[in-house]
Amino acid sequence: MSATEINFDGLVGPTHNYGGLAQGNLASASNEGKVSNPREAALQGLSKMRALLRMGILQGALPPQERPHITSLRKMGFAGRDADVLASAARANPLLLANVSSASCMWTANAATVSPSADTGDGKVHFTPANLSSHFHRSLEVDTTTRVLRAIFAKDKHFTVHDAVPFHTFGDEGAANHCRLAASHGEPGLEIFVYGKSAFAKDGQGGFSARQAMEASHIVATQHQLWTGGGALLAQQSKAAIDGGAFHNDVVAVSNGPALMFHAQAFEQREAFLEALKRACAAKSFDPVLLEATEEELTLPEAVKSYLFNSQILTLPSGGMALILPHEVEETPRSKAFVDRILAANGPIREAHYFDLRQSMRNGGGPACLRLRVVLTEDERAALGNRGLVDEARIDALEIIVRRHYRDRLAPADLADPLLLDESRAALEAIGNVLNLGPVHDFQRI
Ligand code: SUG
């Protein structure tokens, strides 16, 4: 069956800021408290979307969510008019306000795990929104994300959008810890679920704690009906990678079609993992193309700092593949040398394109973090109508909204400004109209 991939990028929200909220994420920690530029951040993301469209890639966008999240503050007992709720939360606990203000839903690789219909037992496309329970600020995304996915992928005949994994000790971070290998998008594939540890493991080893529980990965693979066809493999992310700042596996590995590009230290028990992978691919009648960076050619710190593996690998209409990379890779000589080696190797990857995503990168979000991949057959694509999809005209419209409603400067103290909430809601209304999503935000539903 032929199928195409749509990349749904997260549109950066009006409260994009540097809160230093993310544990194990070195960029977020080192940029805490800096002044952000939400307008520039959103425009950087939109220009990546436009460039990919021009390369012939289908592109969608998921909207920002309402922040500061007034509903959450009310659940904590803050009361009165919205402006009073904000003011009393800011007085009581500025860190709480920072958490309910994060624009972190922009990193849609953490929105959900998606299994194409070629892989699943019932032939539907399955989605499980990530519970993101490892971090309070990220856990606030789940309800709206679920509504957004159900608004876009609404037709029962083709799509199942499950509830997020309900057991919060089983942390699930979505597609950022999931790779798919297949001969081509439309063929049955092997889905690799990469976990950090079992939720029942005794910790006490020091270092950063793992966000993805093995049990969550297993639940997602099970509800997507992947086991019967031999379509799933559980793999453990290496402790060294997590401690080195790879808080998600997509900081050290990325796949597309039969290709897996990864750092030698990405997986625990590397050799056993690669053996299992080759066997599972052979059972699906294809050989994986392994593009590995050895420790000698690129250290783990270099990989994490440059975000080489947080690139997108895309299948172009011509059939070749392109790498979508952040500028930081170009500025890191040995990461750039790896890319050049891959391009010279006459393998599946033919092109490399570099983008300025610095606003998002300062919070640890590269090109791959900013997108959710959804592989669809032609019928499935037709069922979407135009919900959530973007073309150049929609990107033009989104750019106008961003220029009109987004600030070009946001410091931590500004999060308490009630005008910021009004501006954000106005922007969200307008964005929802462009993307044709209906009322998905709490403030639109009350
Ligand atoms: O969860 N940063 C996000 C970055 C997510 C990147 N996604 C992928 N690797 N797929 C995180 O660590 C920082 C927000 C702040 O500090 O204000 C943050 O949440």
Residues 336-362 have a mean pLDDT of 97
What residues are labeled active site? 173, 248, 369
Residues 376-401 have a mean pLDDT of 96
Beta-carbon contacts of residue 438 (< 8 Å; ≥ 6 apart): 151, 432
Ligand 1 centre and the CA of 178: distance in Å?
16
Look-up of token digits 């056993």: 272
**In terms of Cα–Cα distance, which of 42, 23, 83 is closest to 243?**
23
pLDDT band at 286 (very low <50, low <70, confident <90, very high): very high
Q: What is the pTM of this model?
A: 0.97
Please state which of the ranges 38-52, 129-143, 225-239 shows the lowest mean pLDDT: 225-239
CB of 103 shorter than 6 A to ligand 1: no
What percent of the chain has pLDDT above 90? 96
**Longest Cα–Cα distance in the chain:** 64
Q: What is the pLDDT of residue 369?
A: 98
Residues 153-159 have a mean pLDDT of 91
48 by DSSP, 3-state: which? Answer: helix
Q: What is the pLDDT of residue 142?
A: 98
At 70-110, the pLDDT tens digits run 999 999 999 999 999 999 999 999 999 999 999 999 999 99
CA distances from 53 to 115, 350, 372, 383 (A): 23, 18, 15, 20
Task: Count CB atoms within 10 A of the CB of residue 183.
Answer: 15
CB of 12 shorter than 6 A to ligand 1: no
- Residues 55, 316: contact at Cβ < 8 Å? yes
Ligand 1 centre and the CA of 278: distance in Å?
32
Nearest ligand 1 atom to alpha carbon 98: 17
CB of 284 shorter than 6 A to ligand 1: no
CB of 363 shorter than 6 A to ligand 1: yes
CB of 247 shorter than 6 A to ligand 1: yes
Q: What is the DSSP string of 333-354?
A: HHHHHHHHHHHHTTSSEEEEEE
Nearest ligand 1 atom to alpha carbon 364: 4
At 167-210, the pLDDT tens digits run 999 999 999 999 999 999 999 999 999 999 999 998 666 789 89
Q: What is the pLDDT of residue 81?
A: 96
- Report DSSP state, residue 144: H
Ligand 1 centre and the CA of 281: distance in Å?
32
Nearest ligand 1 atom to alpha carbon 102: 17
Q: What is the pLDDT of residue 204?
A: 61
Ligand 1 centre and the CA of 263: distance in Å?
21
Q: b or e along 126-158 (b: 16 or more beta carbons within 10 Å of the residue's beta carbon)?
A: bbbbbbbbbbebbbbbbbbbbbbbebbbeeeeb
Q: What is the pLDDT of residue 200?
A: 94
Q: What is the pLDDT of residue 440?
A: 95
Q: What is the pLDDT of residue 445?
A: 82
Q: What is the pLDDT of residue 365?
A: 97
Ligand 1 centre and the CA of 104: distance in Å?
6
End-to-end CA distance of the chain: 43
Beta-carbon contacts of residue 232 (< 8 Å; ≥ 6 apart): 190, 191, 192, 193, 221, 224, 226
Q: What is the pLDDT of residue 1?
A: 78
Beta bridge partners of 256: 259
Domains along the chain? 4-67+102-444 (3.75.10.20)
What percent of the chain has pLDDT above 70? 99
Residues 112-136 have a mean pLDDT of 98
Q: What is the pLDDT of residue 203?
A: 67
Q: What is the mean pLDDT of the chain?
A: 96
Pocket test for ligand 1, best of 18, 107, 361 (most atoms within 8 A of CB): 107
**Exposed, middle or buried: residue 222 (CB in 10 Å: 0-12, 13-18, 19+)?**
exposed
